[in-house]
Amino acid sequence: MSKAGALELASGVGGKIDKIQVLSAVDKYEKYHVCYGGEEKERKANYSDMVNKYYDLVTSFYEFGWGESFHFAPRWKGESLWESIKRHEHFLALQLGLKPGQKLCIVQ
């Protein structure tokens, strides 16, 4: 990810990273990779941190683009992305027989 791209992402970021921390997270993540001067030994010793930084950044990116829903929905002509997701979520709730006030947690 380029530095400019990281800053663009930070302008509307969601997820676990505050927008002010996105650039720092990108820098730290890049330093684990050889093409940015990272060493294999350091990367292996810090896999947990590297993986957490990756998923924090990816979560922020997805929430920036799709909100809190990590799923997609077919869109009807003239329907916005948000309208399609809301309609699809209502359809799923109806199919599952969920009642008002009930919550659904999908774990994969």
Ordered per-residue pLDDT tens for the chain, 108 residues? 455 555 455 454 455 667 777 778 788 888 877 666 777 888 788 888 888 888 888 887 787 777 777 777 888 999 998 899 889 989 989 999 999 888 887 775
The one-letter amino acid at 31: K
Provide CB contacts within 8 A for 19, sequence distance 6+: 10, 11, 12, 13
b/e per residue 83-95 (b: at least 16 CB within 10 A): eebeebeeeeeee
Provide CB contacts within 8 A for 7, sequence distance 6+: 22, 23
Cα dihedral: 82, 101, 16, 13 (round 10) = 20
Question: 12, 25 in Cβ contact below 8 A?
Answer: no
Dist. CA 47–CA 42, nearest whole Å: 8
pLDDT at 4: 54
